[in-house]
Amino acid sequence: MRITPFADAPAYHPPLHYGVDCRRLQGHEAGPTDRFWVGLSIYEPGGVADESAATEETVYTVLDGELTIFHAGAPHVLKRYDSVHLARGEMRSLVNTGNAPATLLVAIAMPRG
């Protein structure tokens, strides 16, 4: 068993993310995992993840606030406890258009190999 207190969760800086505080909860620099890693992203109002492809199979779950995910040009509002699954290579972007921070739980598969 390995516990990662949030205060000790290492920050990471994914490309094309602006106004987003990202912390690794498990996996990579937070400690080894075999098949997936878990992170927590806090999107400040106006925070954005510009359009890019999901590097691996991904699940996002909104824990607090609201985020808009754009997929195939269409916006979809994700509210508290809503989740979305993205296949590897699927294009998406995220933005917090609200007036309060939004918290996103991120689970991503490890690269195939």
CATH of the domain at 20: 2.60.120.10
Q: Are strands 67-71 and 91-95 parallel, antiparallel or unpaired?
A: antiparallel
Q: Are strands 17-26 and 36-53 parallel, antiparallel or unpaired?
A: antiparallel
DSSP letter for each residue of 54-98 = -SS-EEEEEEES-EEEEETTEEEEE-TT-EEEE-TT-EEEEE--S
Quick one: pLDDT at residue 28?
Answer: 95
Residue ranges making up the domain that contains 58: 10-109
Residue 81 CB neighbours (<10 A): 9
Quick one: pLDDT at residue 51?
Answer: 97
Quick one: pLDDT at residue 112?
Answer: 79
Total structural domains in the chain? 1
For residue range 70-111, list pLDDT tens digits in order. 999 899 999 999 999 999 999 999 999 999 999 999 999 999
What's the whole-number average pLDDT of the chain?
A: 96
Kindly report the pTM of this predicted structure: 0.95
Domain assignment of residue 70, yes or no? yes
Segment 6-10 shows an average pLDDT of 96
